[in-house]
Amino acid sequence: MKFRTFLGAVAVLVLAASSAPAADKDAADTAVEAAKKYAGTTISIVWEAGLQSLDPLNYSGPQWEKLTGIKVKVVEVPTDQMFTKIMQDFKSGAGAYDALNVIPSWMPDLARAGALEPLDKYVDKFSYRDELQDIAAAYRDNQMQYDGKIYGFPDDGDVMLLYYRKDIFEDPKMKDEFKAKFGYELAPPKDWKQFDQIGQFITDKMAPKVYGAGFFRTAPYPQYMFQERFRMEGGKFFNANTMKATVNGDAGVRVFKEMLAENKFMPPGVEQWNFVDNLAAFLQGTTAMTISWPPYGRWAAGYGSGEEALKWVPKSQVAGKVGYALTPLGRPELGVGFDLSVSATSKNKEAAYLFIQWLNSKKTSLERVQLPYTLRDPFRLSHYASEKYRALWPDAPAYLDTIKKSGEKGLLDLSLLQQDKYDEAMTKAISSLWAGEDPKAILDRMAQQFDAITEKVGIENQKAVYKVWAAKPGAYPQ
């Protein structure tokens, strides 16, 4: 009996010892080990053209080839053509792309069409489920699955942050005058009324040297701002029973009127500002507040300023003076984002999957989100907590904490079948708003366009997709 117990104990120890290395292996190592059998092959990946693609071109692609012997061909595609290219490849059956970057709001269309490979079986086969839990809930719970299946790994922590000038907000004279006028402290605005008051106050005091705020007012950002503010004002995009658009109600009109009024304390011509115009104004110290994606915060701190690829970014005049906060009302729009997926027509599905698992893994993604020249933003709990990242510049801890909080409370982009059509209607409506058209008339037209799109897609089809989307935790504020 004792001998048998001894044998049993030995067997357990042997088993434990033999399985220990496997348990120690992280998802990145697992992917590398499994991918070595595909050495000598080439996989292609669709990546957003420009800065984003410098990640696979300069860093992850060569690294993967070194580790596995698999070559990575990067297919750079402008954002507005990515959906078309992916669908064209799928429809033709050419299988030109193996791995894909997919904007999460496209997932219903791509998954329904069959263009994306379900990833669940690979996730289990290559033990990736545990590491997926490290992805911040806002992305993991909202941007990873369609119809209960995993179609992509959230790989970019896009979320809107409020950036403000600490030196102005902490200036004793400004603080005293502000408190005397409005009866509360000059601090990052908690709601849009405060935002307007602070913006107007700073403009009155400091313009034309510094304006209270500046925004990226051309497509696509304003429609994300509208989506966020509209829902925070209690608006719903559709009547869930009839799928009739309800964007033209009081909430919509109120948000449109406020957005238009805010232009008055912003720099002249803000209606024409694009991403770079707004970035330049903030980095040069012309605006005291702005809302944008996380790269603004890194660049404002001067992170990556020596990089050749970032030469177009104006030299920051506000390094060390920028504070980070949640957007007014505290539920920022997640705004775009990227998932890593595998093309259903790929001839190298497993190799492509292993590459995206390795890219998305804790270990590799931490390095990637720190690349100064790309636009990938932190999206994992381990990124937010990374000591290495938190030491990159003096305010990096505050930056990461704000991204984490924003991510936790982030609102999802509307994501329906043929979402691009709804997005286009919103974008056009907002450009009409800047042109001075009556907000109610614009929203009525937008609602009509929404209804026409829904009707064309099929009311019942769309209702089912909307129901799934609206039930997600980040769809509407609870």
Partner 1 sequence: MRRHFFGMMMTVSASLNGAEQRRPSRFGRMLEDRLPYLIVAPAILILLLVGLFPLIYSLIVSFQRITMTENDTSFVGILNYAELFRDTRLWATLGHTAIITAIALPLELLIGFLMAQLFIDRMPGRQIFVALLVLPTVISPIVAGATWRLMFDVRFGPIGQVLSFIAGEPVRILWTVNPAYVYPAIIICEVWQWSPFMFLLLLAALSNVDQSQLEAAEIDGASYFRVLRAIVLPAIAPVIAVACLIRGLDLVRIFDIIWALTEGGPGSMTETISLYTYVQGFSQFETSYTAAISFVVIVLLTLITTLVLKRMELVR
Stretch that binds partner 1, among 138-146, 249-257, 307-315, 429-437 (CB under 8 A): 429-437
Cβ 392 vs Cβ 378: under 8 Å: no
Stretch that binds partner 1, among 30-38, 49-57, 70-78, 425-433 (CB under 8 A): 425-433
Residue 107 interacts with partner 1 (CB under 8 A): yes or no: no
Tell the residue number behind the tokens 């696979």, with chain if given: 56
169-178 burial, b at 16+ Cβ within 10 Å, e below that, comes to beeeebeeeb
Stretch that binds partner 1, among 231-239, 309-317, 325-333, 431-439 (CB under 8 A): 431-439
User: Of 206, 418, 440, 459, which one interacts with partner 1 (CB under 8 A)?
Assistant: 418
Give the per-residue contact string, 436-455, with partner 1 (x = CB under 8 A; - = no).
Answer: xx----x-------------
Nearer to partner 1, 159 or 429 (CB): 429
Nearer to partner 1, 233 or 271 (CB): 271
Tell the residue number behind the tokens 């044998």, with chain if given: 7
Residue 398 interacts with partner 1 (CB under 8 A): yes or no: no
Residue 262 interacts with partner 1 (CB under 8 A): yes or no: no
Biggest CA-to-CA distance, the chain? 90
Nearest distance, CB of residue 389 and partner 1, angstroms: 36
Residue 79 interacts with partner 1 (CB under 8 A): yes or no: no
List strand residue ranges (DSSP E) for 307-440, in order. 322-325, 339-342
Nearer to partner 1, 332 or 439 (CB): 439
Nearest to 252 by CA among 425, 471, 446, 414: 446
Residue 208: asked if its preceding bond is cis (omega within 30°), the reply is yes
Nearest distance, CB of residue 27 and partner 1, angstroms: 33
User: Of 83, 282, 358, 399, which one interacts with partner 1 (CB under 8 A)?
Assistant: 83
**Cross-strand bridge partners of residue 325:** 162
Give the per-residue contact string, 219-238, with partner 1 (x = CB under 8 A; - = no).
Answer: x-------------------
Q: How far is 81 from 99, CA to CA, in rounded Å?
A: 16
Three-state secondary structure along 167-226? HHHCCHHHHHHHHHHHCCCCCCCCCHHHHHHHHHHHHHHHCCCCECCCCCCCCCHHHHHH
- Residues of this chain that interact with partner 1 (CB under 8 A) are 80-81, 83-84, 87-88, 91, 109, 112-114, 219, 267-269, 271-272, 417-418, 420-421, 424, 428-429, 431-432, 434-437, 442
